[in-house]
Structure 1
Amino acid sequence: MEKLIAELARLYLAPESVTREVLASHILGRTTLAIKLTTADGLVRALAIPFRKIFGDGEAGHWDRLCVVANALQAELGLPAPAVSIDGASAYRLWLSLETPVPAGEAQDFLELLRKTYFPGVELAPDAATAPVYLPPCLNPRSGKWAAFIHPGMGASFAEESGLEVTPPLAGQAGFLESVESIAEDQFRNALRALERRQAPAAVPAAALAEPVSTAASDALAAEAFVLQAQAGAPAPAPARPKAAPDGLLLKDATLEDIVRRLHAMNIEPTFRFLAPR
């Protein structure tokens, strides 16, 4: 618990945003709170970008859209890899940590420019940069399922339903966050300027600048999703083959051995349990 709280505070929370006791209750599912990612004077400490299904998406269009943005943040804008979460219902989020909090207007401008450049078919709320959010891990109050941080390689497995039936292990959640880096102030400024140039009248259309994204191995994604369920201590059926997810800096082809090796590196011991057919 303490390690997870420390990681959440390091990456996303202003010191005055929530007490340790309240956050612990939220993490354990006793309460679910919409938590501010802003400081007392209104500066934005972190950004949580939602990716929900929209008409015409098909099974995993919202996941594909997240992958394009996550890869562009790194390959084209020079930012650290964001954390990825499922929201406990039907959406994903990308989590960007800001080393130095920025004014709300700049943060909203950044999100809007990012939207116009990489996912123009989706609308963002006018207060997307400052609205309180359900910080994972927590119970989604509408679905009753768990929101959680996930390894990017397993994301496509949650395309139909982005929630866990069982409480995610706290050590695993901390493990997913410990390698995440905050965006330095100069990195944020450079990325903001790059997005502004993209949207200038003479800018080349984003579609012409974006490199094609290949597909990752669906078997590896299914295996990783199975590992998460097994980690959580719940029996799980043999995983179905999900729709393959885009590949890139964020998402890599992986074997089951790669996945287990990665979990071991985070001091997470996966277990494998199957439901016997009835």
Structure 2
Amino acid sequence: MNKLITQLQRLYFLPDQPGLGQSPEDDGSNLPFQPVSADGTVRTLSIRFARPGDWEVLAQLYQALREELDLPAPAISVSGDKGFRLWLSLAQPIPVAQARHFLAELRRRYLADLPPASLELVPGAEPATIDLAPALNTATGKWSAFIDPSLGSMFSDESGLEMAPNMDRQADLLASLKSIDAAAFRHGLALLAADEPSPAPDDSPQRPADKHSTLTVGSNYSDPKSFLLAVMNDPSASAGQRIKAAKALLPYFAGKRD
């Protein structure tokens, strides 16, 4: 058990944070893990997928974090109740606001099609704790556990393990993971920001004053007829502007013969 706690501390605990996790009796009891420090910093970013059927979306996010954002592989755990949790480890704590922004960008880019109620982002708008894995869910009688991502589809219909996982193997899974250093985190955040959509074009009706301001006919005209003729021949004028100018010119040509 000490081997597993050592890996949990290495990846997810804040400096000087007291050890949390399995009891010495290995009965699966554990204390809630608070990822945010008293001074508002965090080094564990987590996304909970409440629906087991969303495994494929989680798998795509897992792949994107590595291949598109150039980040180390995160951990994935299966819940003793339902669904999965993705764990991101930072080498150095960052402000909560920055962590929330990063998670929001991940959600915007990769998880936009999922209902908000099916996701839990930690840290989020409200303070939240995380149940560390592995642990026994007393309501279902099943265990949460860290899993090899290649086996995730096995839990897409029903979550949880019927028996307690091997704690040394759990530790070995975590031992293979690396925390995200500060430079890699900034790089990933920059890649997410570069993908932000451009502001939508303004499709609101243009006011008459705005339309006139786009004309290039100038203002050096001594009479209305000359101005209207200039509008008729101005390439920057819209079809509507030319029609209005033509109608306004009719009185000047009424009754005129060739």
CA 1:127–1:13 in 2, change beyond 3 Å: closer, same or farther?
A: closer
- The match for 2:57 is 65
- The match for 2:150 is 153
CA 1:202–1:102 in 2, change beyond 3 Å: closer, same or farther?
A: same
CA 1:196–1:27 in 2, change beyond 3 Å: closer, same or farther?
A: farther
Preserved contact between residue 14 and residue 45 of structure 1 (Cα < 8 Å): yes
Q: Compute the displacement of 1:154 (Å).
A: 0.8
Q: 5+ residue gaps in structure 1?
A: 54-59, 204-278
Q: RMSD over aligned Cα, in angstroms? A: 2.2
- The match for 2:5 is 5
CA 1:125–1:152 in 2, change beyond 3 Å: closer, same or farther?
A: closer
- The match for 2:174 is 177
Deviations 1:137-182 (A, max 9, x none): 1112432311100111111001122101111111110011111000
Alignment of 1:138-217 (within 5 A): 138-201=135-198
- The match for 1:105 is 97
CA 1:30–1:167 in 2, change beyond 3 Å: closer, same or farther?
A: closer
Q: Give the secondary-structure state (helix, strand or coil) at the position aligned to 2:22.
A: helix
Q: Give the secondary-structure state (helix, strand or coil) at the position aligned to 1:23.
A: coil
Preserved contact between residue 82 and residue 94 of structure 1 (Cα < 8 Å): yes
Preserved contact between residue 76 and residue 146 of structure 2 (Cα < 8 Å): yes
For residues 29 and 163 of structure 1, the distance between their equivalents in structure 2, rounded to whole angstroms, comes to 16
Aligned structure 1 segments of 4 or more residues deviating by more than 6 angstroms: none
For residues 33 and 142 of structure 1, the distance between their equivalents in structure 2, rounded to whole angstroms, comes to 16
The residue type paired with residue 139 of structure 2 is R
Q: Compute the displacement of 1:38 (Å).
A: 2.3
The residue type paired with residue 75 of structure 2 is A
Q: Compute the displacement of 1:125 (Å).
A: 4.8
For residues 193 and 26 of structure 1, the distance between their equivalents in structure 2, rounded to whole angstroms, comes to 43
Of residues 42-51 and 2-11 in structure 1, the stretch that sits farther from structure 2 once superposed is: 42-51
For residues 127 and 162 of structure 1, the distance between their equivalents in structure 2, rounded to whole angstroms, comes to 21
Q: Compute the displacement of 1:192 (Å).
A: 1.0
Deviations 1:222-247 (A, max 9, x none): xxxxxxxxxxxxxxxxxxxxxxxxxx
- Aligned pair count reads 195
Preserved contact between residue 48 and residue 85 of structure 2 (Cα < 8 Å): yes
Q: Compute the displacement of 1:35 (Å).
A: 0.7
Preserved contact between residue 87 and residue 146 of structure 1 (Cα < 8 Å): yes
Q: Compute the displacement of 1:126 (Å).
A: 7.0
Deviations 1:189-231 (A, max 9, x none): 111121112114179xxxxxxxxxxxxxxxxxxxxxxxxxxxx
Structure of larger gyration radius: 2
Equivalent pairs: percent with the same residue?
A: 41
Q: Give the secondary-structure state (helix, strand or coil) at the position aligned to 1:100.
A: strand
Q: Compute the displacement of 1:3 (Å).
A: 1.1
- The match for 2:84 is 92
The residue type paired with residue 115 of structure 1 is R
- The match for 1:77 is 69
Preserved contact between residue 13 and residue 38 of structure 1 (Cα < 8 Å): no
Preserved contact between residue 14 and residue 43 of structure 2 (Cα < 8 Å): yes
Deviations 1:80-138 (A, max 9, x none): 01111101111111111000111101101111110010010232557544521011011
Preserved contact between residue 74 and residue 86 of structure 2 (Cα < 8 Å): yes
For residues 32 and 24 of structure 2, the distance between their equivalents in structure 1, rounded to whole angstroms, comes to 10
Q: Give the secondary-structure state (helix, strand or coil) at the position aligned to 2:171.
A: helix
Preserved contact between residue 89 and residue 163 of structure 1 (Cα < 8 Å): yes
Q: Give the secondary-structure state (helix, strand or coil) at the position aligned to 1:120.
A: coil
Q: Give the secondary-structure state (helix, strand or coil) at the position aligned to 1:39.
A: coil
The residue type paired with residue 94 of structure 1 is L
The residue type paired with residue 42 of structure 2 is V
CA 1:111–1:27 in 2, change beyond 3 Å: closer, same or farther?
A: farther
CA 1:132–1:183 in 2, change beyond 3 Å: closer, same or farther?
A: same
Q: 5+ residue gaps in structure 2?
A: 201-258
Preserved contact between residue 135 and residue 144 of structure 2 (Cα < 8 Å): yes
